[in-house]
Amino acid sequence: MKRSAETSSEHLASRFNLNLNLSGNPPAIGIGQAGQPTHPTSPQVVSQTRPGTVLSFGPTGSASSAGNGGSPFPPLDTVEWTEPQVRGRQAPLAQAGTGTMDGASSKATHAQASSGAGQFKRADQPGNPEAQYRLARSYALGRRVPMDLALAFEWFSKAAGQGHLRAQTAVGNMLAQGIGVELNEAEAAQWYGKAAAGGDAEGQKCLGILLEHGRGVQKDEAKAAEWYGKAAEQNYPDAQFHMGRMLEDGRGVEKDEAKAAEWFFRAAEQNNPDAQFCLGRMLEDGRGVERNAVLAFEWCRKAAREGGHVSAQNHLGKMLANGTGVQQNDALAVAWFRQAAAQKNPEAQFNLGEMLQTGRGEEKDEAQAAECFRNAAEQGHAQAQVSLGRMLDVGLQGVPQNQVLAAHWYGKAAEQGYVSVQFRLGAMLMVGLPGVPKNEALAAHWYGKAAEKGHPEAQYWLGRMLAHGKGVQQNRVQAVEWFRKAAEQSNASARIELQRLLKYGEGLEHEEAHWYRVSASDSQIQYLLGLMLMEGKAVPVNNRQAYLWFEKAAERHHAPSQCWLGYMFEHGIGVPQDDVKAVKWYRRSAEQGNPLAQSWLGNMQGQGKDQQYNDAQHFQLTLQLAEWGDATAQFQAGFMYERGTGVQQDDAKAIEWYGKAAEQGNASARLNWESMRAQGRDEKHYDAQAFERYLNDAKQGNALAQFHIGFMLENGKGVRQNQAEAAQWYSAAAQQNVANAQVNLGFMFENGRGVPPNPAYALELFRAAAGQGNAEGQYYMGFMYLFGKGVQADRKQAVEWFRKSAAQGFGKAQAKLRALDGDQRQGRAPEITGFGAYL
């Protein structure tokens, strides 16, 4: 739809002669490190409204004047009292002190006010409401008489009773805010109604506010919008802003962002800071007007600098930090964040904390960052609560580790629905930490909250608790359901648990197995059902049905299912014996790295049952299909490059093809891609540009990106080495159950690299990784038990962990078992040493 030229960027720019000062410099206010003014004579931002009841009108960009912390009703010192034509808000007039009068002094000052320079007629003269109104104004402002709000209300009421419109609005204002009289919004609405019916724009706007929010009257957004519209048509800027809000949100009127932008513009021209800010946001987003980031920046700057609009100040900082509509400038961004943070804006406090934590705009200061996060967290800012919790959880320079406080802030954020900390809180309560008692029931509660929102690790751990009856009543059927949900999100641990439950039929009756079969949609589940039917676990043996389930999974490139199809064709189980088909399925599985398929294929080749195969020809065919976009061929090309099958081995090309297949949803390719990168075999992707890409994803909560940022910082790849920051990012990824991050962070805590040494916490991290089947985590668990690091030494436990790791082919664990076996035969105790000797 073609937008009206009346709301185009060019039109807005031409109608208002904007001086595009793109420097974005904030007003000259000195702000100290804690976000407070440092100079005793620094000018303060003057609120345009008297503090009172705050009306919130939704998210940033659609707030009323109360968005700066004031009432939407005009204070007595900002209303134009004398001119019949309403011109909107004027500059605040001087405040006078309050005073009291007896009857005599009242008469004297009344006479003084009435005779001042001949400006007033006698206010008590019958039929002279204008004089009464002016006298009320004198009492309200303390001009030529001591301020007396009660007398002001009395004289405003007399004038209002004679039909004086501005007096009627003034009476409504005083009743609505409880100024000089007891607060009474119902009576205020009546006076606003009288003024509004007479055409007073301020009265119309104020009546709209009461109707919009149901204060003193029944809520009616349609009538509110009607009164806002009447006042807006009289060129009253506050009403124009409110009318813009209603149109932007579609409340009381049909949503129309183009008309909303026009009203915001008309109010912005009259220096309404709320409208200026809202107009800037619409220009930035291209809503109702053509997108124009430069003009958006200028309007936000006007609201922030000239109008003292706190939300605009914070947003201006964001625009400067991101280079939106202006040249990117971290130092100026920090200055604006400080300006808004000093006025207790929680979003600005959080943003300032992030800048200080990462050293953007000024020198890195984690202690000050934590203080900013705390200020925002105490106001209920969920992200700040998370950030503060993570800093306390790990412990950083200037921020001592305090997991009790970390749990406190995690709990605050978890109550607001922050999924990642719901999971972390569950993990802390599951194992118990110093000062955080173990509480399995509460752990299950938080795991459940996160699991319901799709967190795969929480789904897995909730399944485990249900399977074993920890913190909840044992229920294996529900456990299977949660394992299934986690497995569908590629959670390897959940798939292992499913395999155990289904393969051995633990707790599954025949009917339950049937229900599970009906619900199968994931290739891993289809594979497990095939195993159940072939082995007769929880259901009668049915090889034909097993073949059909394996076939479904094999068609989705599931390597174990392809291997078992080959086995069934080789031995004629459930299908006619067919060596050609057996070789075909073994080969497909083997090309995905399945060791069992490689072994069985080798057996068939040894028996002469496989025709001579030219790997180079196969590679060329695979490469051609891969270049045409076939995801399976792309995966196979990556596999052949990685192994050097039919082509010269090339890790970079292997990663490239795995990545292309992964982009098309090939799960095996993604696993291989991630594995190679985690092993540091993707050198070109660990450069400075890669660091920036990972950093953006990491800040959005991407767990793998957080791990890679930690890896690059720890090893100085693409960025200057910084082990303290590496620990922070590993911690963020570890909290999302990334096993490699848990291992690396555990190693850092064991050795005191970038963090204070803490063997007990290192042990918990290794245990978490080992619980996911991570071979390296199991290996380090063995060391902790062998040498009594963070736990009482226990050689038997150590050997058990080494065996688990060695069973997965982890060479270091296998070597350690051989060494321990030799020590035992020769009667030697193991030498106590650090991990470094075994890396």
> Between the ranges 124-138, 247-261, 655-669, 685-699, where is the mean pLDDT highest?
247-261
Average pLDDT, the chain: 78
Highest mean pLDDT among 356-365, 490-499, 673-682, 687-696: 356-365
Which residues, other chains included, contact 572 with Cβ-Cβ below 8 Å and sequence gap of 6+? none
Of residues 398 and 6, more confidently modeled: 398
* 18-32, 273-287, 631-645, 667-681, range with greatest mean pLDDT: 273-287
Residue 294 has pLDDT above 80, yes or no: yes
> Which tokens is 327 given?
């040249």
What is the band of 394 on the pLDDT scale with cuts at 50, 70, 90? confident
Give the pair of three-digit tokens for residue 498: 């499913």
Pick the more confident residue, 494 or 402.
Answer: 402
Side chain identity at residue 694, one-letter code: Y
Per-residue confidence (pLDDT) for residue 702, from 0 to 100: 84
The average pLDDT across 418-422 equals 90
CB atoms closer than 10 angstroms to residue 509: 12
Residue 522, helix vs strand vs coil: coil
| Spatial contact of 815 and 808, defined as CB atoms under 8 Å apart | no
**Distance from C-alpha of 67 to C-alpha of 57, rounded to nearest angstrom:** 8
Q: To which residue do tokens 């100085």 refer?
A: 716
**Which of 70-74, 308-312, 833-837 has the least mean pLDDT?**
833-837
> Is the model's pLDDT at 13 over the cut of 50?
no
Per-position DSSP letters for 803-832, written without gaps between them: HHHHHTT-HHHHHHHHHHHHHHHHTPPPPP
Beta-carbon neighbour count of residue 628 at 10 Å?
A: 9
Q: pLDDT of 245-293, one tens digit each?
A: 999 999 999 999 999 999 999 999 999 999 999 999 999 999 999 999 9
Give the model's pLDDT for residue 278.
Answer: 97
Kindly state the percentage of the chain with pLDDT values over 90: 45
At 210, is the secondary structure helix, strand, or coil?
Answer: helix
pLDDT at res. 48: 29
Residue range 197-209: mean pLDDT, rounded: 96
Once rounded to an integer, what is the mean pLDDT over residues 779-799?
90
CA angle 26–314–243, rounded 5-degree value: 105
723 vs 838, residue with greater confidence: 723
- Rounded to whole angstroms, how far apart are CA atoms 483 and 464? 8
Token pair belonging to 634: 């792309």
Q: What is the pLDDT of residue 148?
A: 94
Q: Quick one: pLDDT band at residue 90, thresholds 50, 70, 90? A: very low
Per-residue pLDDT, 586 = 86
Q: Does the pTM exceed 0.75?
A: no
Average pLDDT over residues 756-770: 92
Gap between the Cα atoms of 241 and 278, Å rounded: 9
CB 710 within 8 A of CB 744: yes
Number of Cβ within a 10 Å radius of residue 329? 20
pLDDT on residue 50: 29
Query: Which range is most confident: 215-219, 402-406, 813-817?
Result: 215-219
Residue 564: pLDDT band (50, 70, 90) is: very high
Dihedral (CA of 65, 70, 74, 80) sign: negative
Predicted pLDDT of residue 502? 62
Is 37's pLDDT higher than 60?
Answer: no
Angle at 803 between CA 801 and CA 804, to 5 degrees: 65
Tokens of 699: 């800040």
**pLDDT class for 556, splitting at 50, 70, 90?**
confident
Q: Is residue 40 pLDDT above 70, yes or no?
A: no
Q: How confident is the model at residue 407, as a pLDDT?
A: 92
Q: Is pLDDT of 87 > 70?
A: no
* Least confident span in 77-86, 244-253, 466-475, 768-777: 77-86
Tell me which residue of 423, 425, 495 sits closest to 461, measured CA to CA: 423
CA 784, CA 675: separation in Å to the nearest integer?
Answer: 25
Distant-in-sequence, close-in-space partners of 331: CB < 8 Å, separation ≥ 6: 361, 362
pLDDT at 126: 62
Tokens 């407070």 -> residue = 36
Does the pLDDT value for residue 94 go beyond 50? Answer: no
Q: Which residue has the tokens 């058990």?
A: 800
Residue 507: CB partners within 8 Å, gap ≥ 6? 467, 476, 477, 501
pLDDT > 50? residue 732: yes
Q: What is the pLDDT, as a whole number, of residue 242? A: 97
pLDDT greater than 50 at residue 295: yes
**pLDDT value for 144:** 87
